[in-house]
Homo-oligomer: A and B are copies of this chain.
């Protein structure tokens, strides 16, 4: 098996066009369009037992989340689909239609093949850029670190499903049917120095943002917004908070905002959206953790590491 990091490094050597943003972003910017492609393998990035409707919902959300992180509005998708059994395919399409309708996003085309082995699904999403398209590199020391969206719910839901495949509830929903925060991304993008979606885990993704912006990020575990369902399942002690900060599959938005910007952003957020300040950017490198001011050692695993 090739190192995924080595492979991506070799890919970067090919992706010299400025539109590719060095492949350091999850999306390319081509004129006014933002383009991204994501793949999911059934049973690898989802559980083999996940309902096909939710696999479709997840594929759409995971991909559109990359548009959300650019403040882009979804326009359309191209689907790459591996056919399986008819009932699964039918239910997947039902979920796909529902998910695309939710985002007011068009199915534009794609390709369908039949292959043995795990079902590999690809989705290319095209979005229209807003007035600003932040990447990961524009954060400055002095900015606040803000989070919108769930944290830890998805990882808690996955843990529940692994213990009991029949588990249900809001945490399982968060794992199986995440939502891309399109409207929230649009509001944040106008003011964020840097933004990305949290897909591999807050800590590992924050470290990537810090590296791209050449700053240090201090994160306060005590400030992490945990849902009532999460707290009911796993508590809210430091162990639970570290679990939430490293679990991944959140599709929350992480943004660096200059002082004062949060008041403007808050006014344009959709109703119900909560924006939480979870840390700050300072001169330096890497990330540092504290728990209401008390320094905390970084855990060994910051999130989903790509195979090194």
- Which A residues lie at the B interface, using CB under 8 A? 1-4, 6-8, 10-11, 14-17, 19-21, 23, 25-28, 30, 33, 35-41, 44-45, 75-76, 78-86, 89-90, 93, 96-97, 100, 106-118, 120, 122, 124, 126, 306-307
A39 to B123, CA, bound (A): 11
Contacts of A115 in B (CB 8 A): 41, 44, 117-118, 120
The answer to whether A122 and B7 have CB atoms under 8 Å apart is no
Contacts of A84 in B (CB 8 A): 1-2
Contacts of A75 in B (CB 8 A): 30
Of the residues B4, B25, B112, B118, contact of A7 by C-beta under 8 Å:
B112
Contacts of A8 in B (CB 8 A): 112
Please give me the 10 A-B residue pairs with the lowest Cβ-Cβ distance, nearest first: A117-B117, A28-B108, A17-B106, A37-B78, A122-B122, A120-B120, A41-B115, A2-B86, A124-B124, A80-B122
Known A-B contacts A15-B106, A17-B106, A76-B28; the reply to A89 vs B7 at CB < 8 A is yes
The answer to whether B93 and A20 have CB atoms under 8 Å apart is no
The answer to whether A109 and B76 have CB atoms under 8 Å apart is no
The answer to whether A109 and B37 have CB atoms under 8 Å apart is yes
State the majority secondary structure of interface residues on A.
mixed
A39 to B37, CA, bound (A): 13
Can you give 9 A-B contacts (C-beta < 8 A)? A2-B85, A4-B112, A4-B114, A28-B76, A35-B124, A37-B78, A39-B113, A115-B117, A124-B124
Closest to A90 in B: B10
Of the residues B2, B93, B120, B126, contact of A30 by C-beta under 8 Å:
B126
Contacts of A17 in B (CB 8 A): 76, 106-108
